[in-house]
Amino acid sequence: IEARVALIKKQIEDTTSDYDREKLQERLAKLAGGVALIKVGEATEAAMKEKKDRVDDALHATRAAVEEGIVPGGGVAYLRAQKAIDALKLEGDEKV
């Protein structure tokens, strides 16, 4: 992930197109964990309102989890912690 972020930063520096620079900056923000876009659609207005409310509830629950210390993007956190995890000398039940 870090290598891809570095590559995108280099592409931003090298590009002469404002459009490409804007798109690369958006991609960088998304990859770095700064932005998410959720599109909600349904067949009827009532169904769409209900689905939007569910998404809104999930968003608030996610924000609360982040504030209380739950790691966002647990897979990325695991990858970043892998070297430290591999260096641990564990025995018995600790290995599990």
Q: Report yes or no: 3 and 9 within 8 Å, Cβ to Cβ.
A: no
Cβ-proximal residues to 52 (8 Å cutoff; 6+ apart), any chain: 40
Res. 14 pLDDT band, cuts 50 70 90: very high
Residue 46, amino acid: A
Res. 91 pLDDT band, cuts 50 70 90: confident
pLDDT tens for 31-78 read 877 666 788 889 999 999 999 999 999 888 877 776 776 655 667 777
Q: The tokens of 21 are what?
A: 């620079």
Q: The tokens of 47 are what?
A: 């169904």
Sign of CA dihedral 1, 10, 12, 17: negative
Put simply, whether the predicted model's pTM sits higher than 0.75 gets the answer no
pLDDT tens for 77-89 read 778 888 888 888 8
Ordered by start, the domain boundaries in the chain are 2-90
